[in-house]
Structure 1
Amino acid sequence: MIARIVIPVILVVLLTDWYVDRRFICMCRLHRKALRCCWWLQTTLVVVYSVSLALSKNFAPDNLNLLSRYLLLLTVWILPKLVFVVCSALGWGHCVYHKTKTNWGNPIGLLCGFILACMSIYAYTIGFSKLEIRHVTYYSKDLPQAFDGYRIVQFSDAHVGTYGETRAGVLNAAIDCMNAQKADMIVFTGDLQNMRPTELLPHQKALGSLKAKDGVYSIMGNHDYAYYIEADENTRKANLQRMMDLQKQMGWQLLMNENRVVRRGTDSIVVAGMEYEGKSVKVPNKGDIKKTLHGIDSNHAFVVMLQHDPTSWRTDILPHTRAQLTLSGHTHAGQVEIFGWSPISLLYKEWGGMYYEGRRAINVSTGLGGFVPFRIGCPGEIVVIELRKDK
């Protein structure tokens, strides 16, 4: 993960520290040598830290705290310093061009950098701990009358390995909140782990306490497959099997290109779970539409399709099925949302909320947790979806 950005990060660190050294530290009259020594010592430590993480053979280091602390360092120190240097350099250029002495870029850069650092600290603490319940109503003329008012609770992208012991209360509060909804069905739309199924063990009892009238259904997300650690094929298969076994032990019905029929008297709906199909460069596409809907009368059934990656809605589900409602996750809304806009919208057309194509719809959950404990403007969410008969 860090290997992808290590060269730009090191360049930013070296260039910004050189600028601060030449423009400010070298101008000091007292303790100049000591200040420069300390300044370049922290530079060296940051570079060493960056390189050591980049050399990890896996997607992330085994100790995810090392990654979290590094990203905190990046957003609280390195990026604010870059903002300050850019503002200061522009201000210096303005002074040279207009032959003035006061560089207003320095105080502006300090203020902007300070605000960015404060926002980052908030995102790692309060922002990641916040929880939101989003209510959605979906109307369909195809919904059987007996299911008018049926309530589905959706959650996605729990990434329970990120909670550890210190943040376990955040996950437990979310589980209590879901149970309090008294839903007819609970669905989880993928990414339960970060890299290893052992991450579930401290939270297995809590996750197993999720209850709904018609049960808890789940699918696999790209992180739930064993492709985020470097391992031989046998180890990968064993990790995948353990992930599947743990979900079943929790009482969840894991759907692997499968479907289940839920009945109310003579009426019924179908919940179908498709394996991962999407953009991930690490996980091969495993979704099989025909297998997922095997045995289902597609002309008459009301289908709730579970697919982790929302891009599959347009590439596979809309053109090849009549599934009325699709539930997805995966995007996390980039874990950053500002005035309703997220940078992840540059990559995904459907990235958070309810989207329609005619009468068919997809709900994309922005997720409960994240690989990195960082959220600003988009708290972890639980979605309560009410199905209504469109008369």
Structure 2
Amino acid sequence: MIARIIFPIILAIILPEIYFDIYYLRRRYKYRFWRRLLWLLPGILMLVYSVALATIRNFVPDDLKLLNMYLALVGLLVGPKAVFALFSFLGRLWCKMTHSRHNWGNLIGFFACLFGVYVFVYGYTAGFRKLDVNHVDLEFADLPDGFDGYRVVQFSDAHVGTFTGKRKKILLRAVDSINAQKADAIVFTGDIQNIQPSELYPLRGILSSLKAKDGVYSVLGNHDYSAYIKADSAVKVFNEQEIISLERGFGWNLLLNEHRVLYRGKDSLVIAGEENEGVAPHPDKADLRKTLSSVAGGAFVVMLQHDPSAWRRTILPESTVQLTLSGHTHGGQLSLFGFRPTMLMMSEDKGLYEQSGRYLYVNAGLGGVVPFRFGMPSEITVITLHKKK
């Protein structure tokens, strides 16, 4: 994880230190070498910490405490320094352009730092614990009469390896909230783990307690494959088989490019589950034709697909699926004034989308590798299907 962003992190550590040294320390104080070294020591230690995390074999350390401690230091030390230095530098440029003597960038940078620290602290504490239960009503002309009023509860991106220690209560509350909806069917749209199946072992009792009239249906997400660990092929194959075994052991119907038919009298509804259709570096295991093999023409289909980008790429043009449920994006885990970072990468990154009477819903997920959420609470979605009159 850190390896993917190591160069921006290094720049965020080094450049502010250079800026402060040139424009403040050297000019205003006659610092001896040892005093300057003391000032630079936190930055040096952060450089060492960053490089150490960037060189680990897996996507994240086996002990997430190392990552969480690092992110806390970035959020409380590196980030504020970088933000203040940026605004101060821009203010200095403005002073030169306007021949002004007062650098207002310092004041703006100070308040920007305070706001940044607030976002970080809130996001790591109350923000990550917040849970929304969102209700969505959808009408379809071709919905079978027997499924008018059918309730599907969706959750996604549990990343249960993050719910350790006191955070276990957050996952338990989410599962209780899902069961409280009295759903006809519960669906999970992928990413149950961070990087390895052993994360699920302490939580088997909680996850297996999910119950619905027609059962629990799930698919795998990009994190549920072995793309995020460095290991030989035998270990990777074992891990992938283990996650499949665990989900089915919970009593869930894990769908691997396959489907199930549900009945209400003579009427039927199909729940289809396609494996992750990712764009590199994410795994691409999807087979839409196999997933819908033998599905009758005109059947009403609810498709589970972890990656929402598959909706426009393949599901819309190559099928007649009426409703697709996805996750993957976590809604960016951050929303400021309506802006989410995932909006820069995906046209459908959170919420409900429609095209020609066919729908996609992208769930914001329950967790994340990083236990942080600001303005983007964890989400359970209650989708009620209605027959259009």
Q: Structures share a fold, TM > 0.5? A: yes
d(CA) in 1 for partners of 2:221 and 2:304? 11
TM-superposed deviation, 1:91: 2.4
CA distance, structure 1, for counterparts of residue 234 and residue 8 of structure 2 = 36
Is the deviation greater in 310-319 or in 3-12? 3-12
Contact 1:77 1:117 in 2 (8 A): no
Match of 2:70 in 1: 70
Q: CA deviation at 1:296?
A: 1.2
Q: Which amino acid aligns with 2:119?
A: M
Offset of 1:373 from its aligned partner?
0.7
What is residue 348 of structure 1 aligned with on the other side?
346
Any gaps of 5 or more consecutive residues in structure 1?
Answer: none
Bigger drift between 36-45 and 346-355 goes to: 36-45
Report how far residue 94 of structure 1 moved.
Answer: 3.5
* Deviation by residue 1:300-338 (Cα, 9 ceiling, x = unmatched): 211000000011111111111111101001111111112
Report the AA paired with residue 210 of structure 2: L
Structure 1's 102 and 315: CA in aligned 2 closer, same or farther, altered over 3 A?
closer
Residue 176 of structure 1: aligned partner: 176
The TM-score with structure 1 as length reference comes to 0.96
Query: For 2:356, which of 355, 358, 364 is the aligned residue?
Result: 358
Match in the other structure for 1:329: 327
Which secondary structure state, in structure 1, belongs to the residue aligned with residue 367 of structure 2?
coil
Q: Quote the offset at 1:32 in angstroms.
A: 5.9
1:146-165 correspondence to structure 2 within 5 Å? 146-165=146-165
Cα distance change, pair 325–63 in 1 and its aligned pair in 2 (3 A): same
Is contact 1:222-1:280 (8 Å) kept?
Answer: no
**1:103, distance to aligned residue in structure 2 (A):** 2.3
Mapped pair 1:56 → 2:56: yes
Contact 1:135 1:384 (C-alpha < 8 Å) held by counterparts: yes
2:82 aligns to what?
82
Question: Aligned AA for 1:288?
Answer: D
Q: How does 1:103-142 map to 2 (within 5 A)?
A: 103-142=103-142
Map of 1:224-373 to 2, 5 A cutoff? 224-283=224-283, 285-297=284-296, 299-373=297-371
What RMSD over aligned residues (CA atoms) do the two structures have, in Å? Answer: 1.6
Matches within 5 A, 1:11-22: 11-22=11-22
The separation in 1 between residues aligned to 2:198 and 2:236, in whole angstroms, is 13
Contact residue 124 and residue 373 of structure 1 kept, 8 A: yes
Structure 1 residues 89 and 259 mapped into 2: Cα distance closer, same or farther (>3 Å)? same
Alpha-carbon shift at residue 282 of structure 1 (Å): 4.0
Q: Which amino acid aligns with 1:373?
A: P
- TM-score, reference length from structure 2: 0.96
Q: 1:375 aligns with which of 373, 376, 381?
A: 373
Kindly indicate whether the alpha-carbon contact (under 8 Å) linking 1:25 and 1:35 is maintained by their aligned counterparts in 2. no
Which whole-Å CA distance do the structure 1 matches of 2:275 and 2:206 have between them? 25
Q: What's the offset of the Cα at 1:98?
A: 4.3
Stretch of structure 1 that moved more, 367-376 or 97-106: 97-106
The answer to whether the 8 Å contact 1:276/1:307 transfers is yes
- Give 1:48's aligned amino acid: V
Cα distance in 2, alignment partners of residues 35 and 139 from structure 1: 69
Q: Residue type matched to 2:362 in 1?
A: V
Q: Is the 8 A contact 2:25 2:31 kept in 1?
A: no
Q: Does the residue aligned with 1:374 lie in a helix, a strand or coil?
A: coil
Q: Contact 2:143 / 2:300 at 8 angstroms: preserved in 1?
A: yes
Q: What is the identity, as a one-letter code, of the residue corresponding to 1:102? A: H
In the TM superposition, 1:91-106 aligns within 5 A as 91-106=91-106
- 1:26·1:32 contact (CA, 8 Å) conserved in 2? no
Higher deviation after alignment, 192-201 or 329-338? 329-338
In 2, the alpha carbon distance for the partners of 1:238 and 1:113 equals 46
Structure 2: stretches of 5+ with no match in the other structure: none
Counterpart Cα distance in 1 of 2:288 and 2:272: 10
* Distance in 2, Cα, partners of 1:155 & 1:268: 23
Q: Distance in 2 between matches of 1:339 and 1:28?
A: 39
CA apart distance, 1:27:
5.1
Divergent runs of 4+, >6 A = none
